[in-house]
Structure 1
């Protein structure tokens, strides 16, 4: 088993491990549900709360004072989302090269050989 099945299944295990890691990395809902202390929130939970606060300020600018409403309307929504996307993607981009050899191996194991 360890000499035959395990070497063939390494690409499968690496793919499943990488995708599960990305799933846990991008999970923000469980942090909001189970953690009461805001200092312990995950990065994605903090980014989600920042995005919600910006949307709240932009949507409720009518109830703010004039200067605060002007500031809320000028808040960058799209650049903030793109900056959050970069923060989320950086660890994924750093981890992918270590798993790339398993992906290539998995593709070549199933190919037709002459």
Structure 2
């Protein structure tokens, strides 16, 4: 506040105060950001975290693909694509991708 008061007559007090607040907030934010781990630093420290998440997503996709294959087997020929479009909430290409993963997984 003393520095802001010394600027009296050279600049508006509110401008000096706004500059001081901005300066302190940026300094505080930089200190906080430096103390926090980023996603990249966590992955470099524990690489299994990224791989585990990928395998979990892959396993979920395979399970969904197996369910889609079972539904496709129950439906008459030509009814699966409209079923996917209307009832599954997936695009047909994504459904094909999941089914391919399930077939490859065995």
* Same fold, judged at TM 0.5 (above): no
TM-score for the superposition, normalised by structure 2: 0.32
Structure with higher Rg: it is 2
